[in-house]
Amino acid sequence: MKALHYASIAEICENVRTKKVSAVEIVEAHLERIKTLQPKLNAFVHLDAEAAMEQARHGEETLLRGGALGPLLGVPVTVKSCIDVAGWPCPAGSLLCKDYVADTDATLAARLRAAGAILLGNTNTPEFLMAYETDNLISGKTSNPWDLSRSAGGSSGGEAAAIASGCSAGGVGSDGGGSVRVPAHFCGICALKPTPGRIPATGHFPAGVGAFYWIGVVGPMARTIADVRALFEVMAGPDPGDALSAPVPLASVNDAQVKGLRVGLLESDALGKADSETAAAVRKAGSDLAAQGFVVEPIRLQGLGRAIELWWFFFGPTIAHLFQPIVAGQENKRSRIFREYMQFAEGQVTVDALLGACAERDLLRANILRQMRDVPILLSPVSTTTAFRHGEGTWRRGAKQCYRDTMRFSQWLNLTGFPGVSVPAGVSAEGLPVGVQVIGRPHEEELVLAVAERIESGRGPWQAPPM
């Protein structure tokens, strides 16, 4: 087995079960890695080392007694700090929530524990998750393990940095406009944005309810697709706390099911133009799939421009309208990034506009699904470029790194509720990871993961950052 902090989930579980390595040793290796890298990366908000060691010892005792062993036995994981874990501060990056400590585990956290995973701590986010740069007034900024002058992305930037650097074997983020996929792309790991309700978002702040039920989801992040799948299979399933959850059974996808599958290389003037290295990575991923027997061809979807506009209506003016009473009169406690979001997102939201946007979203989603009837998988960039430098990302229109221009490839999936996964495809000339996005139809996460795994096989082994 490779260095303990870069072992896969399957390797960890197998070696703990066969007693080649103890769960205590696994946790100690990760805690030592965190001790070394936290001053450089600032990925963690809260570290629960004592409880993690206790969980590891409990797992060892269960193993010695011959008790039932979970599928994540001994696997150290992390959780984004907007997701409840009992006894942990979960501030979602805001001074307004700095004193909030969760009473109970979110459903997904409880499922991870029950599967034998060891919860190490929670990770950094931008304030209230409303940016693609992880920085706030409580914990400060999180750096990219490939280049400390670069952003780890957002809003699940702490998760991506922790996993890419070997501080965690995997974890959970959340995604309202690319917030697991973009940090994964920036940091060179994998992340799945599932169909809303496939993994319950119970215990997440802000809650995905009402008109926003399609927008935000929770999803697994890890270094390989196999590890993402292992986390997904544990966390997936219905929960009464999530209004969209449904009893969708887990499916397996074999070679016969993907043989000759049609894959579309997504083309759209509405999504912007990716830089040459990003575009080349998508083409290379398509070529690798074609070499494995997939039918890969360009596809141009109609309606994506309007999808981006509707996404911003919900993510921008509507959510800002809901935040306004929470943050009113608290200017000195609001981060620069969040103040900027509110400045550019605030606007009048009428009942007629909201009802019309909800209806149009559903009709647009149906139209895009009809266009994907015979092409169940799409490939696209995650964003137009690789990780930007700290402070360059902005909501200001016209700026080089304006989120409303650079992140469109990810944002439209949150409007439609489609699953998508970011998978590393290479490294740029500047030494930064380049990810490719694999997009599927609702509730077909297993197919999306199967295709992404074949992109991995064409790419070769996962590459660690130079830390």
Active site residues: 80, 155, 179
140 exposure class (CB count in 10 Å sphere: 0-12, 13-18, 19+): exposed
Find the helix packing angle between 23-41 and 49-65, rounded to 10°.
160
Helix (H, G, I), strand (E, B) or coil at 413: helix
CA angle at residue 459 from 455 to 464, to 5 degrees? 115
CA distances from 16 to 8, 60, 71, 117, 166 (A): 12, 8, 11, 12, 18
Secondary structure (3-state) at 113? helix
| Closest to 376 (Cα-Cα) out of 245, 264, 260 | 264
Classify burial at 62, counting beta carbons within 10 Å of its beta carbon; exposed 0-12, middle 13-18, buried 19 or more: middle
Strands 295-300 and 217-222: unpaired
Helices and strands of the chain, counted as H and E runs: 16, 13
Radius of gyration over every alpha carbon of the chain, rounded to an integer in angstroms: 21
How many beta carbons lie within 10 A of that of residue 240, not counting itself?
9
- How far is residue 31's CA from residue 45's CA, in Å, rounded to a whole number? 14
Q: Which residue shows structure tokens 């007034």?
A: 137
